[in-house]
Amino acid sequence: MKTVLLQVGKTVNKHFVTIIDDYVGRIGHYMPFEIVTIPELKNTKGLSEAQQKQAEGELILRQLQPSDTVVLLDEHGKQMRSIEFAAWLEQKRATARRLVFIIGGPYGFSPAVYQRANHQISLSMMTFSHQMIRMTFTEQIYRACTIIKGEPYHHE
Ligand SMILES: C[S@@+](CC[C@H](N)C(=O)[O-])C[C@H]1O[C@@H](n2cnc3c(N)ncnc32)[C@H](O)[C@@H]1O
């Protein structure tokens, strides 16, 4: 089963790219994992915030297959400790055809994307930039992989 992280817009900061690439490489030792980037529509065609969210939402939905288990990263979602997230991930990986995590654009998700989602998870009650959260989340996936394998990376 493949796990995908769908993100809106390329990662701009080269330091972030280095860190994310490092975690993606590490995760690849544990499970098939891929980042898919859809374009961020900021400043194109003079779109309003709502129009940008809707247009990006349509691009997101186009990437999804009906059988996908879709998990939105959203500050209002369910919060879990890393150990809980590891157990959750292990269970989803055993049952889902394809697990797709999605990080929204700068304005978040359109109503249609919320409607399609199967789960929403929050990494904190605070808001992170759509660029920065990628580092935090890939690190958490790597951490979960090591917890599942019983490896000593995670300490409580
Ligand atoms: C700048 S935030 C969007 C904020 C927007 N006002 C909203 O309500 O979603 C951009 C994206 O980063 C992710 N994000 C930011 N903070 C997060 C958090 N604490 N937990 C999970 N995801 C977060 C979400 O995917 C969000 O769509």
Query: Ramachandran region of residue 45, left (φ > 0), alpha (ψ -120 to 50) or beta?
Result: left
Least confident of 47-51, 55-59, 87-91, 146-150: 47-51
**What's the confidence (pLDDT) of residue 41?**
83
Which of the following CATH numbers is that of domain 6-37+45-148: 3.40.1280.10, 3.40.50.300, 3.20.20.10, 3.30.565.10? Answer: 3.40.1280.10
Mean pLDDT of the chain: 95
State if residue 128 touches ligand 1 by the CB under 6 angstroms criterion: yes
Q: How many CB atoms sit inside 10 A of residue 115's CB?
A: 10
Expressed in angstroms and rounded, the spacing between residue 150 Cα and the centre of ligand 1 is 30
**What's the confidence (pLDDT) of residue 40?**
86
Strands 69-79 and 98-103: parallel
State if residue 120 touches ligand 1 by the CB under 6 angstroms criterion: no
Q: Is the pLDDT of residue 148 over 90?
A: yes
Q: Is the pLDDT of residue 44 over 70?
A: no
Could you read off the pLDDT of 56-97 as tens digits, one per residue? 999 999 999 999 999 999 999 999 999 999 999 999 999 999
**What's the confidence (pLDDT) of residue 43?**
64
Residue closest via CA to ligand 1's atom 8 equals: 108
Which ligand 1 atom is the nearest neighbour of the CA of 125?
19
Could you read off the pLDDT of 103-132 as tens digits, one per residue? 999 999 999 999 999 999 999 999 999 999
Ligand 1, pocket-test mutation among 74, 124, 135, 140, most atoms within 8 A of CB: 74
Are 53 and 23 spatial neighbours (Cβ–Cβ below 8 Å)?
no
Is this prediction's ipTM beyond 0.90?
A: yes
State if residue 126 touches ligand 1 by the CB under 6 angstroms criterion: yes
Expressed in angstroms and rounded, the spacing between residue 2 Cα and the centre of ligand 1 is 24
**What's the confidence (pLDDT) of residue 137?**
98
The answer to the question of whether 61 is labelled as a binding residue is no
